[in-house]
Structure 1
Amino acid sequence: MQTKLADFIKNTPEGQEADAILRSCVHCGFCLATCPTYQLLGDELDSPRGRIYLMKQVLEGYPVTQKTQHHLDQCLTCRACETTCPSGVRYGRLLDIGRSVIHKNVKRGIRESGIRYLLNKTLPHRYLFKSLFKMGQFCRPLLPAKLKKLVPSRIQSIREWPVKKHRRAMLILDGCVQPELSPNINIATAYVLDKLGISLIKAEKAGCCGALSYHLDAQQDGMNYMRRNIDAWWSFIDNDKKDAQPIEAIAITASGCGVTVKEYGHLLRHDPVYAEKAAQISALAKDISEILATETDNLIAHLEKSGSRHKMKLAFHSPCTLQHGMQIRGVIEKILGIAGFTLCSVKDAHLCCGSAGTYSILQPKLSQQLLKEKIMNLSVEKPDQLITANIGCLMHLKSGTSLPVRHWIEILDEILSNDSPK
C-alpha cells in the first residue's frame, strides 16, 4: 500500500512503525472472513481492511472525525485478522497507534469519557476493586439478574499457597481483578507446578499488566503499570545477584495479560531505563499452557501416579489473546486429552466471545450478540462444563449460560490431586 504520512507523525517511532505496517497491507480482503464485527454488521468500515483505510487517512493528515473513532471503538482487538492475513500485517499494533492519535484529536462525550475514566481508575487498582467488589456482594440481592451472575454471593474457600521448597522456581502474575473474581486459578496453578517440582513465587508489588489502561485511551497509565511490574519482578531475576534463585519463567494464567507482558519489550523499547529489562521480562513471560507443554513427561508420570482419568466432556473456549495474540493453538486441548477428558468440537472457535477486556461494558449490544453465538456453539455437543484460559472470557461466558464455567488449570489441578471435578 502506498503511504504519505503527515509531518506530525512521519518521523516519530510510532509513525515509522505505522508506515511499515500500512505498507505491508495489500488489501486482499482475507481478513473480512474472520472479523466478528464485519460478520455482524456487514460494513466495510467495521472490518480490518476498512479500519486500516481509516487509520491511513488519519495518519496522512486528513480530518479526524467521530465516525472514524466510532468504527475503531467497535473493533474487539481480537486479532483474528492477524491469524488470517497472508501478508503478516500487525493490525493490533496499528490500531494502538491509530487510537492514540484519534484520542488526541476527537473529544468524547461526558458520559462516555466518564465510563472510561472510572474503568481506568478502578479495575487496574486491585485493592480499590476488592473494596468495590465486596460492596457489590453486599448489595447483590438488589442487583439486576445479569449482574448477579457476575457478582457471586461467596467465593469458594481456597487453600493456602504451597510452601516454597523446590530448586526450580517461577514467578507468577497475580493481576488485578482475577484474585477477587476467581482466586483459585493461581492457587491451582501453584499446586500443579508444585507437583511437577517447581515453586511458584508471587511478587507482592506486581499487579495489573497494563492492558486495561493501555486500551482505554490511557496509554501512559498502562505503561506505568508495566514499569511497576518490571520493578517488582526484577529483584527476583536480576542476574547480578549471585545468591538469587534462577527464575525459569513468569507464569501467566490470564491470556489477556500474557499477550501484553510478552509485548513489554516492544512497547517500552524506546524507554532508556526500562527497554533492556522489559525485553528480558517478555522473554521470560509464558502462558501456563506453554510451561506445561514442556513438562509433558513429568505431567504424565504424575497423572499415572494419581491413578485418575476422567471422562468428563468439556467444551474449550480458546480466548482470542491465546490463539491469535500469542498464537498458541491446540496446546491446552492436548494437555486435557492426556488427562483423559473428552473435548467437544466447537464451531467457529476462532471467533471472539465478546468479552475483549472492557468491550463488553463499552459495546454491550455487539458483545451480547457475540456471546449468544459463542454459547450456542460451545453447547452443541452438551458438555458438562465450559472451560477457558482468560478471566475476562470466563466471567463473560458465565453471564450467558447456566453451565459451570472454569479455568482449565483448575480442572487439571483436581485430577492431579486425585479428586473428582465438581
Structure 2
Amino acid sequence: MTNEIKEKAILVGCQLQNVDDEQFDYSMDELASLTKTANGEVILMTSQKRTKYHSALYIGTGKAEELLAAIEELEPDVIIFNNELTPSQIRNLTSMLGKRVIDRTQLILDIFALRAKSKEGKLQVELAQLQYLLPRLVGQGTELSRLGGGIGTRGPGETKLESDRRHIRKRIDDIKQQLNVIVEHRKRYRERRKRNEMFHISLVGYTNAGKSTLFNRLTKSDTFEQDLLFATLDPTTRKFMLSSGMTTLLTDTVGFIQDLPTSLVAAFRSTLEEATEADFILHVVDASHENYRSHEETVKHLLNDLDVKNIPMLTVYNKMDKVHPDFVPEPSTTHLEMSALNEGDLQKLRTRIEEECKQYMEYYEVSIPSFDGKLLHEIKKYTLLETIEFNEENETYDLTGYVFKHHSLFDTVNRYRTNKEQ
C-alpha cells in the first residue's frame, strides 16, 4: 500500500452519561482528524449512548449488528474506536466484524510511527507500540504478522509478534537500553547548554497549535510545518535573538493531545523534559479552534504531570488572524494575542518575552573600559542591554540593562557597578 492510497475507515464512539454532547462531538471530530493524519478517509461516523461500555464489545450487541451491516455495505479497510479497547474487546470485535479493528491509542501510536524521524523518536514509538501490543497478542490472528499493511499496523515490522512474547520482551529491554544511552547523551547536552549559560525557551502546546510555524518564523528555520496533527515529533533547538540582541535557545517540542496514551507519555518523557528544563515556557494556543479552552487545559494538566512548576510561562494565543468568534482569553493567564504569520506580532512577542524576563533579572548601570571588547560582547549577548553610550572623557561604554542573578556575568557587572559608584 502506498501513501497515495487512502484507507477507508469507519469511526465508532460510545458516549457515557458523564460526557456532554459538545465534548463527545469534539472527541469524535478529533478522531477524524487523527484518521486523516494517518492517511485514512472517513466514510462513516457512528456512535451510541450508554451508561457504561459493553464489557465484551465496547458498544451494545444491537449497535454491533448495525455496524456489521454498515461494513457489508461500505466495505471499509479498518474500524477505529474512539476509546482504548481491552484485549478481549479487540478479539471479540475482530472476530465478529471480520475487519481490522484498532482503537484511539493504536491510531495515535501509528501516527507517531509515521512522523518519527530521529533514532530516539523511532525507538520511543516502537517501545510504546510493543508495550501496547504485549497484552493484546492473544487472538489477534494474522494481523500482527503483516505489520506495515495499513493504519494501526506501522512500526516494528514483520516479526510475527503473536508467536513469541519472549521476543517482544527482549526487544523492549533492548530498546530501553538504547534509549538510556540516548537519554544520557541528551542530559549531557542539556548540562553543557546550561554551562554555556544560554537562556532556554521551550515552545509547548496542543498538537497543531502552530508551534512549528512560530518556531520557524522566530529562528528563520525550516522544520516541518503542516496542518496535520503531530507534524512535529522530534524536539528541535535553534538560536533565537531577542530585540535587545540577547541570544537565547528556542526549542520546538512534540504537541500534546487529550487522552495521550500513558505509554507514550512515559516513552517520550526524555523528550518532554526539554520543557521541564527550560528557563521560560511559551504555551502556544490555537485561538481559531472552537475547543481552544479544552486544549489549553489539557496542556496545563500534562505540564503538571511532568512537574513543571515555578517556570515562568507566557500563553501565546496564536492564529488571531482567523480567531474563533467565541474566543475569550483566560483572564488569569499572562498572555499575548498574535499571529505567527505577522512580522509585527513576532516583534511584539520578542519584546514581551524581554518584559517577562526582566521580572526575574537585576537592573544594572555600568561603565566598561573601551579596551575590554570581549566583556562588551558578552554583555550584549547574554544580558538584556537597553542603552549603550560611549563616554569620550573616560573612554568607557556606559551601559544599562538587566542580567540574570545566576549568570556568571552578574558578579562581573556588579564589580564594574561598584567601581562606577566609587
- Higher RCO (CA < 8 A, seq sep 6+): 1
Higher strand proportion = 2
In our comparison, the structure showing a higher alpha carbon Rg is 2
Tell me the TM-score normalized by structure 1. 0.28
